[in-house]
Amino acid sequence: MSKRRPFTWPIATTAVALFAFPLAALLVQAFGDEWRYPALLPQRFGLRGIHAAVASGAAGEALTNSAEIALATTALALVLGWPAARALAERRLRRPGPLLLLLALPLLVPTYATGTGLTTWFIQLGLADSVAGLVLAHLTVVLPYVALLLLPAFGPGLRDLEEMAMTTGAGPLRRLIHVSVPASRATVAAAALLGFLVSWSQYGLSLSVGGGIPTLPIVMLPFVRNDPEVAAAIALFFLAPVFLALLAASRAGRRVL
Amino acid sequence: MILRRVSLEVPSGSRTALVGPSGAGKTTLLRAIAGLEPIEGGRLDLGGHHLNGVPPHKRRVAFVFQEPRLLPNFDVIDNVAFGLRAAGGRRGERRARAAELLNEVGLAALAGRCVQGLSTGEQQRVALARALCSGPDLLLLDEPLAAVDPNRREGLRRLIVKIQEQRALTTILVTHDRAEAAELGQRVALMLEGRIIQHDEPETLFERPASPAVARFFGTPNLLRGHVIAGLLQVGDLALPVEGADGEAAFVIRPERIRIREQGSLRAEVREAAYLGSHVRLKLHCNQLVLEAHVPSDEAPSVGMEVGVELPEEYLWRLSEATGEPALAEAWDR
């Protein structure tokens, strides 16, 4: 018989409320065609904000760009973060300090500053205002998160399974596909989700390196002051892939190794 | 564990047990053979092929670990077929081969089951089938029975022997249990402190050990050091008839070979008597000499009794080195 946990419901309700409250505020804002101070709710609901966001065409293009950039950045961060995290977790480096510092550096410096530093080089390399340039720029902040989140994936349990795979004839690639990644599925899913979200919501780097490539944060921000209803409508576009990513990550993470 | 001057030749198609106390280097040696531990010097050959530098997945050396190490995201049959999957085998073929092996290890009915629901004994059988699936040239088993319920070990022991003999598969098995080593190994190698001390048939290691350390490991604590003079071994006040040349000598005798009589010229006091099911273990004090004897429970004298002790000459084994290997003997004592 399972024990009753008296605080489960209040905690769960509070957590849901904390999550739902800003979402509800966003929905009301996105569909509030007429909303005058000091009313708590709009006087009239409608689709003006959605129409404006769709009609401009900017939201659709920004959505595609943001998705492409976030997916590519996440994939690259996983590929590069995996060996980096492994080297750190398995203590293969005699002095891991410099690598840790290198990983943490972009997190300590404001992203706009990092982007400004990169812009000159990117212009000279022909990467400014390009999707590839934005992916590389986003990678500077996404990679540290992904690498640090992947650290717990490596340990004796994974090593044991990989050794087993070696002695049954599995080469490095098959070990990675059939053993290492499935064994650390939950950690990889969490790292991928966070990596995606960091890239998806990136403003400072996108503005400094790829101002000419519209991404959702870039497109949305001017409307925040001028027309909050349109900004809220764009934010709804912003949310959809995030929910999809969250769903995919939680499904992947739930599967037993 | 660092291995030093290890030399082990295993005949093709044979079954060798590598035995020794914990920390002796048995697992390290097995892992080095499999390529899981780097070797700095020496040479490793398998059937004429030089293995130094060959990556583990290309050595054709299968390994059954102490823990089954099954993949929880695969069912039983896919775990067994993992080696063929790794080699790029077709699904139908690899599952058919895995099904044959599951049948052989007695788990055909569990093919579709997920591995978490299996007992440790069943999981170890799956691990054994998996190791065989890719047709290795050498099978390494690292204490495969250690995690298995004692009641199920006998069945798995028989299975290992049957499978090895049917295939004539060269096999090296690690254990710290000398009885298990004798049962499973056609030949047994004793390792102490990173060195192979003696490699021989089980009976030789038990009855004719090469050194006191080997004798002690194989359950012979009775070491008699003294001088042989005219066919008599002088140990303190005792004089025992023995064979061999005169001079400093060390003899051992197994506890079960010592006979206890009411009468006898060699008198001893029973200081301890421990009932162990199949026999009673006696500690006998005979002047400065302490002997261990194993006797049937219905013949066991009580503690404090004085008994006659007979050390049959034919069971006294003269060690080749009189001084033995004190360092190793001490290591084994620890």
- Global pTM? 0.81
- Compute the nearest-CA separation of A155 from chain B (Å): 14
Between chains, do B73 and A255 touch, taking CB under 8 Å as contact?
yes
Per-residue pLDDT at B77 exceeds 90: yes
B11 token code pair: 């005949």
CATH of the domain at A105: 1.10.3720.10
**pLDDT tens digits, residue range B100-155?**
999 999 999 999 999 998 999 999 999 999 999 989 999 999 999 988 888 888 99
CA A196 to mean position of chain CA atoms: 3
A189 token code pair: 């899913």
Between chains, do A182 and B73 touch, taking CB under 8 Å as contact?
yes
Q: A43 lies in a domain?
A: no
- Compute the nearest-CA separation of B259 from chain A (Å): 50
Query: Rg (Cα) of chain A, in Å, rounded?
Result: 22
Q: What is the mean pLDDT of residues B60-86?
A: 93
Amino acid letter, residue B116: Q
Q: A180 lies in a domain?
A: yes
Read off the DSSP letter of residue B314. Answer: G
Are B286 and B309 spatial neighbours (Cβ–Cβ below 8 Å)?
yes
d(CA A92, CA B213): 39
User: What pLDDT sits at residue B188?
Assistant: 97
Q: Does B72 touch chain A (CB under 8 A)?
A: yes
Q: A225 pLDDT band (50/70/90 cuts)?
A: confident
- Compute the nearest-CA separation of A189 from chain B (Å): 16
Facing residue for A169 by CB, picked from B69, B73, B83? B83
User: What pLDDT sits at residue B40?
Assistant: 87
User: What pLDDT sits at residue B324?
Assistant: 44
- Compute the nearest-CA separation of B33 from chain A (Å): 11
d(CA B284, CA A163): 50
B290 phi and psi angles, rounded to 5 deg: -110, 125
**pLDDT tens digits, residue range A92-129?**
777 878 888 888 887 788 888 888 888 888 888 888 88
Q: A24 lies in a domain?
A: no
Residues of chain A that touch chain B, judged by Cβ-Cβ distance less than 8 Å: 160-161, 163-171, 174-175, 178-179, 182-183, 255-257
Are B31 and B37 spatial neighbours (Cβ–Cβ below 8 Å)?
yes
**What ipTM goes with this model?**
0.83
Q: What is the mean pLDDT of residues A248-254?
A: 76
- Which chain A residues are Cβ-neighbours of B134 within 8 angstroms? 168-169
d(CA B225, CA B234): 8
**pLDDT tens digits, residue range B168-206?**
999 999 999 999 999 999 999 999 999 999 999 999 999
Q: Does B91 touch chain A (CB under 8 A)?
A: no
User: What pLDDT sits at residue A7?
Assistant: 78
Helix (H) or strand (E) holding B181: helix B178-184
Facing residue for A256 by CB, picked from B69, B72, B83? B72
User: What pLDDT sits at residue B160?
Assistant: 95
**Mean pLDDT score of chain A:** 87
Interface with B, mutate which of A92, A158, A163, A167 (most B CBs under 10 A): A167
Q: A97 lies in a domain?
A: yes
Are A234 and A223 spatial neighbours (Cβ–Cβ below 8 Å)?
yes
Residue B2 burial by Cβ neighbours in a 10 Å radius (0-12, 13-18, 19+):
exposed
Q: What is each CA distance from B268 to B14, B242, B281, B300, in whole angstroms? A: 45, 20, 15, 14
Q: A255 pLDDT band (50/70/90 cuts)?
A: low
| CA dihedral over B110, B157, B14, B65, signed as positive or negative | positive
Are B190 and B21 spatial neighbours (Cβ–Cβ below 8 Å)?
no
Q: A25 lies in a domain?
A: no
Per-residue pLDDT at A61 exceeds 80: yes
User: What pLDDT sits at residue A3?
Assistant: 58
- Compute the nearest-CA separation of A28 from chain B (Å): 44
- Which chain A residues are Cβ-neighbours of B138 within 8 angstroms? none
Q: A4 pLDDT band (50/70/90 cuts)?
A: low
B49 token code pair: 């092929």
Q: What is the mean pLDDT of residues A236-251?
A: 83
- Which chain A residues are Cβ-neighbours of B55 within 8 angstroms? 166, 171
Q: How many domains does chain A have?
A: 1
d(CA B195, CA B190): 8
Residue B109 burial by Cβ neighbours in a 10 Å radius (0-12, 13-18, 19+):
exposed
CA A165 to mean position of chain CA atoms: 32
User: What pLDDT sits at residue B322?
Assistant: 45
Q: Does B87 touch chain A (CB under 8 A)?
A: yes
DSSP A18-83: HHHHHHHHHHHHHHEEE--TT-SS-SEE-SHHHHHHHHHSHHHHHHHHHHHHHHHHHHHHHHHHHH
Q: Which domain does A129 fall in, by range?
A: 57-223+230-254
User: What pLDDT sits at residue B64?
Assistant: 96
Q: Does B82 touch chain A (CB under 8 A)?
A: yes
Omega before A38 within 30 of 0, i.e. cis:
yes
Amino acid letter, residue B220: T
d(CA A50, CA A53): 5
Q: A122 lies in a domain?
A: yes
User: What pLDDT sits at residue B323?
Assistant: 45
Per-residue pLDDT at B282 exceeds 60: yes
User: What pLDDT sits at residue B252?
Assistant: 93
- Which chain B residues are Cβ-neighbours of A175 within 8 angstroms? 86
Q: Could you give the maximum distance between any two Cα atoms of chain B, in Å?
A: 77
Query: Rg (Cα) of chain B, in Å, rounded?
Result: 24
DSSP B157-179: HHHHHHHHHHHT-EEEEEES-HH
User: What pLDDT sits at residue B329?
Assistant: 41
Closest CA in chain A for residue B127: A164
- Which chain A residues are Cβ-neighbours of B63 within 8 angstroms? 163-164, 167
Closest CA in chain A for residue B61: A167
Segment among A130-134, B87-91, B92-96, B278-282 with least mean pLDDT? B87-91
User: What pLDDT sits at residue A16?
Assistant: 87
Closest CA to A81 of A112, A109, A102, A95: A102
Identify the residue with better confidence: B236 or B84. B84
**Mean pLDDT score of chain B:** 90
A40 phi and psi angles, rounded to 5 deg: -75, -25
Domains recognised in chain B with CATH numbers: 15-208 (3.40.50.300), 213-333 (2.40.50.140)
Q: A241 lies in a domain?
A: yes
DSSP A127-146: -TTSHHHHHHHHHHHHHHHH
Q: What is the mean pLDDT of residues B2-17?
A: 91
Facing residue for B57 by CB, picked from A171, A182, A256? A171
Per-residue pLDDT at B326 exceeds 50: no
Count residue pairs from A and B with Cβ separation < 8 A: 73
Q: Determine how β-strand B238-241 pairs with β-strand B170-175.
A: unpaired
- Which chain A residues are Cβ-neighbours of B144 within 8 angstroms? none
Between chains, do B63 and A164 touch, taking CB under 8 Å as contact?
yes
Per-residue pLDDT at B321 exceeds 80: no
Between chains, do B65 and A169 touch, taking CB under 8 Å as contact?
no
Between chains, do A170 and B72 touch, taking CB under 8 Å as contact?
no
- Compute the nearest-CA separation of A176 from chain B (Å): 11
User: What pLDDT sits at residue A131?
Assistant: 92
**pLDDT tens digits, residue range B220-236?**
999 999 999 988 888 87
d(CA A35, CA A41): 7
Q: What is each CA distance from B269 to B208, B235, B286, in whole angstroms? A: 28, 17, 7
Q: A156 lies in a domain?
A: yes
Amino acid letter, residue A124: Q
